[in-house]
Amino acid sequence: MLGRAFLLHFPNPPRPLSLLYSSTFTARFDSTSHSSSTMSKKAAAAEKPPLLLGRASNNVSIGIVGMPNVGKSTLFNALSRLNVPAENYPFCTIDPSTAKVPVPDERFDFLVEAFKPKNTISAVLTVTDIAGLVKGAHEGKGLGNAFLSHIGACDAIFHVCRGFKDKEIEHVEGSVDPVRDLEIITHELIKKDLEKCSARLDVVKKTYEKGHDKSLKQDVLTLTVAKELLEAGKDIRFGAWKNDDIDVLNGQQFLSAKPVVYLVNIGSEEYALQKNKYLAKIHEWVKNRDPYGKIIPFSASFEAQVCEFGNDEAARQQFLAEKKTKSMIPKIITTGYHTLDLIHFFTCGPQEVRAWTVKRGSVAPQAAGVIHTDFMKHFICAETMSFEHFKQFGSEAEVKKAGKYRTEGKAYVVQDGDIFFFKHNAGGAGKK
């Protein structure tokens, strides 16, 4: 992952920074594990990989969520370099603004330089700027129902909270208190999920009990547990779910099932000094409530200054050198991307170098299906080499000479950075 953790000084003795800025932990919702010694090789090969909450898609999206006037639209502008309104008043962003943001990846850059293709397509993250939520949003306050539906269309959440004071920028609650704001937004998402879960449970329970559709038994079981979890004020993603449960939950796209990255917007001066008085309390709240959560401090006002240099990379680097700091935008993008448990594989040649996205744990036919569904249906095999081997030996021919070029079958689990050449018989012949 690009970028080092941004180290900040705390007014109280800090906890280990590895806890505060974890960049490698991935939350999984696995079914009950089985010892390999008790499973036959045939059964192990046939076992499906554990399902994950959320959609499996090459077109992944993340929504920027938070209270009004916390810096969401300014962050969106920095991420996308689009001119989204960021005026100082609540609800200035009424319709969601969306942009596709390239995901930084040094491996992709290396492959482009090596193959010098006519066309390049990097992995992208679709970012949606969602207007501010307020207390009572789940009841429709502040146009909340519309904005909550925008969150439902996203795969994950950038939860922006305000950690700076500015008399000229009004706070809808009248004071700056990021932990209170985190509580409000989290409460609103849970309440909306509870409303949706209760309504759906009523429908499936009545249908099941009347005997009209016995296949709804799992829906009843899963939604009953989900409702109890939400009533206890807990997020859906913290349940001890099994694969059968996740099939049901993914069909509902609950707001509190989405992974969250917490972005703390601090002042540009504090950012330069790497100090902020709110971070210790925010860390404590996240640690207690969301053990999988990642926290990234940034300064929207500082990122806005960086964006003013446009495409003048030399001037931008000189500015950052003078400030003795760096932009956090690459880290925000990559953290948002990887919190969805996504990895890249590559297809390379003189015509095109392209990064593709799959869920971690996907097998080779599923990766082929990302390119075209026919490739998955008519999959023969995958010729592959790792990016590290390609970088080490310098070319495909040298990788083959070193014995590192492989042919893999349907059971092969895709590794991050694999370079693939898929063979299939769609159309009657083996092709890429």
In a domain, 73, yes or no: yes
Q: Is the pLDDT of residue 235 over 50?
A: yes
**pTM, two decimal places:** 0.78
Q: Is the pLDDT of residue 34 over 60?
A: no
How big is the chain by its Cα radius of gyration, in Å? 23
**pLDDT > 70 fraction of the chain, expressed in percent and rounded:** 76
Helices marked H in 172-216 — which ranges?
178-209
Sign of the torsion angle spanned by Cα atoms 165, 167, 170, 172 = positive
Q: Are residues 22 and 107 in the same domain?
A: yes
Q: Are residues 373 and 227 in the same domain?
A: no
Residues 19-34, mean pLDDT to the nearest whole number? 29
pLDDT of residue 198: 96
Q: Is the pLDDT of residue 23 over 50?
A: no
**pLDDT > 90 fraction of the chain, expressed in percent and rounded:** 49
Judging by beta carbons within 10 Å of its beta carbon (0-12, 13-18, 19+), is residue 297 exposed, middle or buried?
buried
Q: Is the pLDDT of residue 359 over 90?
A: no
**pLDDT tens-digit series, residues 307-358:** 888 888 899 899 999 988 999 999 999 999 888 888 999 999 999 999 998 8
- What's the total number of domains in the chain? 2
User: Mean pLDDT lowest for which of 132-136, 214-218, 238-242, 338-342?
Assistant: 132-136
**pLDDT tens-digit series, residues 141-195:** 544 456 667 788 888 999 999 998 877 666 666 688 999 999 999 998 999 999 9
Distance, CA of 359 to CA of 371 (rounded, Å): 14
* pLDDT band per the 50, 70, 90 thresholds, residue 282: very high
Q: Are residues 327 and 412 in the same domain?
A: no
pLDDT of residue 413: 96
Q: Are residues 71 and 163 in the same domain?
A: yes
In a domain, 35, yes or no: yes
Q: Are residues 245 and 333 in the same domain?
A: yes
The answer to whether the CB of 182 falls within 8 A of the CB of 84 is no
Cα 118–124–125 angle (5° rounding)? 170
Sign of the torsion angle spanned by Cα atoms 174, 177, 182, 187 = negative
In a domain, 44, yes or no: yes
In a domain, 7, yes or no: no
- Beta bridge partners, 347, equal 354
Q: Are residues 87 and 163 in the same domain?
A: yes
* pLDDT band per the 50, 70, 90 thresholds, residue 197: very high
The answer to whether the CB of 164 falls within 8 A of the CB of 73 is no
State the average pLDDT for the chain: 80
The answer to whether the CB of 305 falls within 8 A of the CB of 269 is no
pLDDT of residue 390: 97
Give residue 197's domain range.
17-338
Q: Are residues 165 and 291 in the same domain?
A: yes
Q: Is the pLDDT of residue 1 over 50?
A: no
Q: Are residues 333 and 371 in the same domain?
A: no
Q: Are residues 388 and 325 in the same domain?
A: no
Q: Are residues 371 and 315 in the same domain?
A: no
Does residue 251 sit in helix, strand or coil? coil
Q: Are residues 179 and 244 in the same domain?
A: yes
pLDDT of residue 292: 78
Q: What is the CATH number for 80? A: 3.40.50.300
In a domain, 118, yes or no: yes
